[in-house]
Amino acid sequence: MLIRRHMGKRTGRARGFTLVEVLTVTLIIGILAAAAIPLAHNAFQREKEIELRRALRLLRTALDDHKKFVEDNKIEVDEDTYGYPETLELLVRGIEYKDKKNKTKVAKFLRRIPRDPITASLDWGLRSYQDKLGSRSWGGQNIWDVYCDSDKKALDGTYYRDW
């Protein structure tokens, strides 16, 4: 009988968390998450900027390679182009030329046109050799330079279109 009475009584505290403990932990997690979100956004934006730099370098190198190839191989092109391609697609399609053995070959300068990571499109801002310095409208004669066609600011405060 003595054993039964002792078994029926509760001797310890109930297990689990109090409301104050749950609210405290929730508040701490909320503060940490609020601090981490801007850091994650900056890291994501920095990755896009690195990708943009790579794409611009790739396109500009292909434009320069095209011009050098035209000059070195004495390929006839329209005078208005100054040896620069008329479209970005021409860098992918390539230039047909004859090698030293008089065989017809195609020189390609890009595998594909890279996507602009900021605007998420294949449309790039274009400048021709004849355009005025700083012009935002393309004359259409050739492609001398490319730029990001976004009005957004980078993490360093500059505009992507000025890169």
The pLDDT of residue 136 is 85
Tens of pLDDT, residue by residue over 69-86, are 999 988 888 888 899 999
Which pLDDT does position 11 carry in this prediction? Answer: 59
pLDDT reported for residue 133: 83
Residue 119 is which amino acid? Answer: T
Mean pLDDT in residue range 27-56: 91
Cβ(115)–Cβ(55) below 8 Å? yes
State residue 8's pLDDT score.
Answer: 53
In sequence order, which residues have a C-beta less than 8 Å from that of residue 63 and are 6 or more positions away? 84, 85, 91, 109, 143, 144, 145, 146
Q: Which of 27-36, 51-60, 110-119, 146-155 has the lowest mean pLDDT?
A: 27-36
Which pLDDT belongs to residue 7?
Answer: 54
pLDDT band, very low/low/confident/very high, at 56 (cuts 50, 70, 90): very high
* Cβ atoms within 10 Å of 65's Cβ, excluding its own: 14
The residues spanned by each domain of the chain are 17-162
